[in-house]
Structure 1
Amino acid sequence: MKQLYVVEDKENSKICQLLSSLEKKEKEIADCQRNIMNIKKHATDLQMFLSMKQIEIDVYSNNTFLQSLVEGEGQHSLSYKINTSIQNIMADIISFGEVRIESKPFDIVLIKKKTKQAQMMVPTVQSSPFENIKLTIHKTINTKDFIYGCCMLPGGRIAFTYYFAQTVKVFSDKGSTDFEMKMPCSPFDIIYISEDNTLAVTSGVSKKHCITIIDIRRKQIKKTISLDSSIDGIALKNNTLIYSSRDIGIRMINLYDESISDLVRDAMPSECYTSTFRDNIYYTKNVTNTVICYNLQGKVQWTFHNESVLRNPRGIDVDNDGNVYVAGYRSNNVVVISPDGQRHREVCTARDGLIDPFTLHYSGPTNQLLVANFNKNKSFLFNCT
């Protein structure tokens, strides 16, 4: 390819020079033709006789130039001559390889019962971690204003979205404001992306539908990803963001190429939150007081609905064992649902300071649960044991 580019540049240069010469000669011949016409029309016989000598010289010069072009190198064309050695290789090699199926032992060990076993051994079943979950208050954060989204960062820092103030604030592990970022729209939910140390923030019902990426180290907006619909809750799975798209469903966007695909086609009401764990996606549907679990193919795995314990569910997240934590906005509590959706427990209530809890986030590395009240100035960080 490099050789081709060099040859092409060289030939293009020659062509440009030739065209320039032809344009110059074309102008000279046109001037000569005009002179001849003027001489025929206006000159006397004597003036015509005296001019003919110069005209013959000009015609001869132009004719010589044109003749040199015709008798020159001729037309040029690009061609490729294959190396004969390659042809020999192709004749000798029948194929470049072959597809094989290799067999190897399974990584599974089957334990057979003894055919003459007299007694049956009953294994000891440990109690499920779900039954032992306990939350204890670690610290209280004075957040103030209206909180729609929250997440925990490495080093004990915590980030909140202030919807009406159009601001994202990051608090230090001591509870003081580390920095705050003015947003181009009203921020709704927020998630931390450890791969590049950024925050992804959704735009809720703002006129500008987008996901804003904030560079935490530089404390500035890295980029804005424009979308075609309102976007509320957001979660992270590998290098993709899974989000609740209002009136469309649950969608997934690849952070590398920003390609979008649909996971669940189901019209979403406003302020739905979403989370993910292994091959499942969870989201809260506040208008029907339900929590729904889907697989990655969009098939419902289970639905939780119990208005006596959970009303107007909002924020949702999953711990390391697959237990699902949900903030009950109108029931003033946090309810944990078992991985199969069959059992539930109320793990903190208004007695623990929850008043209109709107959003929450579970930190797997620290086993802590962050719960933010909507507009009661306080958020709580619990230790989960």
Structure 2
Amino acid sequence: MATSTGVSCGICLKNGNDKAAIIWCPECESALCDRCSEQHNQSNKTINHKTTTVDVLFPRIQIPIRSHNAQLGLANKFDVDESGIYAFCLLPNNDFVFVNRARVFSIWKYDGSFKGRFSINFDGMAHDITSIDNSTVAFTKGNNESDSNVLLVDIGEKKIVKTIPRTVGCFGIEHDKGKLYICSYRFGLCSANISDCVVSDFFELMGEVLYVTMSNSNICMSKSYTDDITLFDPSANIIWKFVDHELLRSPTHLTSDANGNIYVIGKTSYNVVFISADGKQSRQLLGREDGMESMVGIHYDKGRKVLIIANMFGNVTIYNCP
């Protein structure tokens, strides 16, 4: 039985799938889905391990209206009336697009008022979404058995208008100037031209859960299994690599401001971490006491200089972040 906690099965994630976990094993330090928990309970090595249901360990939380960091002030917060949010993006016209586990896309204005929703039938679950223009978004889905896991959706026509081939088991995605940067569990970081859908290898790295953002003209990537953040130049040369296991664990979604500074979600460190543009300075901006659990996306709005964070329960918080 899938839960509403937003906790994923660790074993399935390593295999390129994203299944909801139902139990947590503290001895294995892993969350497990129904199938993996059965194998866990039958194995001679783990049969005596005491487990806890994730509903008890990770209860549904609400983001508070305060920030404990003096550099962040609350600008706005609103709740999206959707369950199981998996990803969101901000359109150029400042409308939000959310997609949930039921494959429902919903459109909300910047002030938190509802505009509309529609559903699209596709296999797998959405992992990340990025805006192309005011009427088109591209999203990834994590099906390892399908060859086209990046889909472009016309939100006005409410339908899939294009698929990107050779994109298997995808997680993060980012659009920049007519090109998509796509994180594939099988191939690593790839790029694809939207016009002709030609996919090119950018940085080969197999068997990793990856997310990506643009940092001015450079590309920044998070690696969830090894806890590192890597900044590349447009030719895929590594500029710097950041690792701090005490500060940032299981990094996922990330974003950048106009100065090239990086803001990244730590999934298992339950925080949002700031990394300077040169990769030399870092600090925690928001922590678990600020409600940083079950986060599904982060976006820096360069025009308003605000940091936008959403969790899977539809709680959206906007912080002033000059």
After TM superposition, the score normalised by the length of structure 2 is 0.71
CA displacement, residues 107-157 of structure 1 (integer Å, 9 cap, x when unaligned): xxxxxxxxxxxxxxxxxxxxxxxx995342411323543333211124442
Cα distance between partner residues in 1 of 2:73 and 2:247: 18
Structure 1 residue 188 corresponds to structure 2 residue 133: no
Which residue identity lines up with residue 383 of structure 1 in the other structure?
N
Structure 1 residue 221 corresponds to structure 2 residue 221: no
Structure 1 residue 233 corresponds to structure 2 residue 165: no
* Superposed CA RMSD: 2.3
Structure 1 residue 325 corresponds to structure 2 residue 273: no
Q: For residues 233-252 of structure 1, what are the structure 2 equivalents within 5 Å?
A: 233-252=172-191
Cα distance between partner residues in 2 of 1:144 and 1:332: 22
Q: Aligned to 2:281, which of 343, 346, 366?
A: 343
More strand by share: 2
Return the offset for 1:377.
4.3
Return the offset for 1:249.
1.3
Q: Which moved more, 1:353-362 or 1:336-345?
A: 353-362
Aligned to 1:172: 109
Aligned to 1:316: 254
Cα distance between partner residues in 1 of 2:314 and 2:89: 17
CA displacement, residues 171-216 of structure 1 (integer Å, 9 cap, x when unaligned): 233343522332413221100112x631011112364332211113
Cα distance between partner residues in 2 of 1:206 and 1:263: 20
- Distance change (3 Å), C-alpha of 1:213 and 1:143: same
Aligned to 2:202: 263
Say which SS state the counterpart of residue 127 (structure 2) adopts: coil
Structure 1 residue 301 corresponds to structure 2 residue 203: no
Cα distance between partner residues in 2 of 1:277 and 1:254: 19
The number of residue pairs the alignment matches comes to: 251
Say which SS state the counterpart of residue 273 (structure 1) adopts: strand
Return the offset for 1:326.
0.1
Which residue identity lines up with residue 114 of structure 2 in the other structure?
S
Which residue identity lines up with residue 382 of structure 1 in the other structure?
Y
Aligned to 2:44: none
Q: Note if contact 2:166-2:199 (Cα within 8 Å) is conserved in structure 1.
A: no
Q: Note if contact 2:192-2:200 (Cα within 8 Å) is conserved in structure 1.
A: yes
Cα distance between partner residues in 2 of 1:380 and 1:180: 24
Q: Aligned to 1:367, which of 305, 310, 321?
A: 305
Return the offset for 1:233.
0.4
Please say which structure displays the higher CA radius of gyration: 1
- Distance change (3 Å), C-alpha of 1:279 and 1:213: same
| Highest RCO, 1 vs 2 (Cα 8 Å, sep ≥ 6) | 2
Q: Aligned to 2:142, which of 204, 215, 220?
A: 204
Structure 2 unmatched runs, 5+? 1-68
CA displacement, residues 329-365 of structure 1 (integer Å, 9 cap, x when unaligned): 1122111100010001212223332223232122222
Say which SS state the counterpart of residue 321 (structure 1) adopts: coil
Aligned to 1:380: 317
Structure 1 unmatched runs, 5+? 1-130
- Distance change (3 Å), C-alpha of 1:315 and 1:228: closer
Cα distance between partner residues in 1 of 2:247 and 2:75: 21
Cα distance between partner residues in 2 of 1:331 and 1:143: 27
Aligned to 2:229: 291
Return the offset for 1:251.
0.6
Cα distance between partner residues in 1 of 2:170 and 2:161: 19
More helix by share: 1
CA displacement, residues 235-284 of structure 1 (integer Å, 9 cap, x when unaligned): 112110011111211110011111111111122413x2111123311111
- Distance change (3 Å), C-alpha of 1:382 and 1:132: closer
Which ranges of 4 or more aligned residues in structure 1 deviate by more than 4 Å?
A: none
Q: For residues 153-168 of structure 1, what are the structure 2 equivalents within 5 Å?
A: 153-162=91-100, 164-168=101-105
Return the offset for 1:382.
2.2
Say which SS state the counterpart of residue 379 (structure 1) adopts: strand
Q: For residues 137-152 of structure 1, what are the structure 2 equivalents within 5 Å?
A: 137-142=75-80, 144-152=82-90
Which residue identity lines up with residue 232 of structure 2 in the other structure?
Y
Which residue identity lines up with residue 227 of structure 1 in the other structure?
R
Q: Which moved more, 1:238-247 or 1:141-150?
A: 141-150
Cα distance between partner residues in 1 of 2:199 and 2:170: 13
Which residue identity lines up with residue 187 of structure 2 in the other structure?
I
Cα distance between partner residues in 2 of 1:262 and 1:132: 42
After TM superposition, the score normalised by the length of structure 1 is 0.60
Q: Note if contact 1:136-1:384 (Cα within 8 Å) is conserved in structure 2.
A: no
